[in-house]
Amino acid sequence: MSEDVTPDPYADPLRFGQRTQILRERRGMTQAQLADLVGISPHTLRKIENGQQKSPGLDMVMRIAEALRVRDLADLTGRLDARVDLFVGPGHPRLGAVKAAVDSFPLTSNVDPPPIAHLEARLHAAWRERHASRNHREAIGRLLPDLIRDAQALVRHADSAAERRRAQALLAETYSLSQFFIAYQPDSSLLWRVAERGMVAAQESEDPHTIGVASWLLAQAHRDSGQRHFDAADAVNREAVGFLNPLLPDAGDDVLAIAGALEFELGYTAARRRETGTAWRHWEKAREMAERLPPDYFHPVTSFSRAVMGAHAVTVAVELHQGGESVRQAARADQSVIKSRPRRARHRIEEARGYQLDNQPDTALASLEKAFEAAPETIRYNGYARVILLEEVESTRAPRRRRAADLAARIGILAA
């Protein structure tokens, strides 16, 4: 191999430190940035990468895997017997049918479009089922192929500009629902197609709320692609916030809620960057917007509401690696009830991350058990939950090890 060719950590038998360096550089991260994210000094990380210090223990391996968004633990460790997907869950049985519906663009079709009101009612029912179901991907995956087909047909057969805009809004909403199904599954290109098509349809609709929702989802797709895409996530968020702000004095609840959700997303990305003041400032502004909503209001897409702000505070503290603060925020958040099962499960996972940061692994496992009870499919596809469980199945304490192994088996991550 030529000396100027970067080794491929997926093909060459490299040591742990070399793999860490290559994967870090591919993420566009400096040693100082990665060291800060995992809680060690740049000097220590340099010694790990140079092979001057032996490979770290499982806890540090997991932290590095989380910071680098490594999908398969074997890519970092080089151990082919340790293949475990971390941030991408197993492909859902209905993924193929959803993908086929997304990718299908028939130039001629004998599909008669449903009445607009009929499709609106079906989408409303689909969102309601998503929030109420323990296995929400199964619930909406069953509905999506027909919804996608009919929404596309509505756009094709629209008879007027006004009808076309309404149809585009429904198509954008259908793509939004699709993105919740596709997220964290092994087809990132499909996720991007859905996010971008949703944004195009939203812009064609000219509806502020629809544009806000599509922006919220597109920004998340950028942010979850890694640190190099944080600027793109912020750009989408800021553009949408700037678009909606002039409308807020007279806005209805849905527009106000999506503006608040976008405001929080700016704080979430800032927390990922470890920008403490900026993160909490955006959270506070989002909280003020939530207080303008009715007490029982719940946004059907983003879950934005008064009740969810406590869960958002836990997320900010966790991303800032403030273990004690995340535990305090978790205690406050428990005073509110989040209506959505998958959003409740997501909150319990964030809570577990906080307890893990605060060196309370047994309480972290209890939170993951609550997440599983609320929505098994949420925890099954969540990389952070997998990291915690894989760490605790190696615990030196037998009761904790058994408890973690039992939950991991029920989720399905130890089957391989």
| 128 and 192 together in one domain | yes
Does some domain include residue 38?
yes
What digits encode the pLDDT tens for the residues 320-354?
988 899 999 998 887 678 989 999 999 999 999 99
What digits encode the pLDDT tens for the residues 36-52?
878 888 899 999 888 88
Note the pLDDT of residue 87. Answer: 56
| 108 and 201 together in one domain | yes
| 128 and 187 together in one domain | yes
| 71 and 103 together in one domain | no
Please tell me whether residue 108 adopts helix, strand or coil conformation. Answer: coil
Q: Is the pLDDT of residue 5 over 60?
A: no
Is the CB of residue 341 less than 8 Å from the CB of residue 372? Answer: no
Domain boundary among 172, 206, 240: 206
Band of the pLDDT at 3, cuts 50, 70, 90? very low
Does some domain include residue 410?
no
Domain that holds residue 25: 16-82
Q: Is the pLDDT of residue 226 over 90?
A: no
What digits encode the pLDDT tens for the residues 9-24?
444 446 788 888 888 8
Burial class for 377, CB neighbours closer than 10 Å (0-12, 13-18, 19+):
buried
| 95 and 201 together in one domain | yes
* Most confident by average pLDDT, 120-129, 185-194, 219-228: 120-129
Q: Is the dihedral of CA 229, 234, 237, 242 positive or negative?
A: negative
Higher model confidence: residue 5 or residue 290?
290
Band of the pLDDT at 394, cuts 50, 70, 90? confident
DSSP alpha helix (H) spans, 31-115: 31-38, 42-50, 58-67, 73-77, 95-103
**CATH number of the domain where residue 58 is located:** 1.10.260.40
| 158 and 65 together in one domain | no
Note the pLDDT of residue 79. Answer: 62
Please tell me whether residue 333 adopts helix, strand or coil conformation. Answer: helix
Domain boundary among 206, 227, 252: 206
Does some domain include residue 181?
yes
| 117 and 187 together in one domain | yes
What's the mean per-residue pLDDT of the chain? 88
Q: Is the pLDDT of residue 115 over 80?
A: yes
Does some domain include residue 202?
yes
Does some domain include residue 194?
yes
| 111 and 65 together in one domain | no
Note the pLDDT of residue 12. Answer: 46
Q: Is the pLDDT of residue 134 over 80?
A: yes
Q: What is the value of pTM for the model shown?
A: 0.81
| 114 and 201 together in one domain | yes
What digits encode the pLDDT tens for the residues 175-199?
999 999 998 888 888 999 999 999 9
What digits encode the pLDDT tens for the residues 229-264?
999 999 999 999 999 999 999 999 999 999 999 999
* Most confident by average pLDDT, 23-32, 363-372, 391-400: 363-372
Does some domain include residue 187?
yes
Note the pLDDT of residue 84. Answer: 54
Name the strand (E) or helix (H) holding 92.
none
| 137 and 178 together in one domain | yes
The total number of structural domains in the chain stands at: 2
Note the pLDDT of residue 37. Answer: 79
Q: Is the pLDDT of residue 118 over 80?
A: yes
Residue 292: other Cβ atoms inside 10 A: 14
- CA 245 to CA 357: how far, in whole Å? 36
Note the pLDDT of residue 14. Answer: 61
| 106 and 66 together in one domain | no
| 71 and 106 together in one domain | no
Domain boundary among 82, 108, 140: 82
Nearest residue to 18 (alpha-carbon basis) of 55, 56, 61, 50: 50
What digits encode the pLDDT tens for the residues 74-105?
777 766 555 555 555 567 899 999 999 999 87
Does some domain include residue 137?
yes
Band of the pLDDT at 4, cuts 50, 70, 90? very low
**Which of the 8 DSSP states describes residue 68?**
T
- CA 397 to CA 299: how far, in whole Å? 42
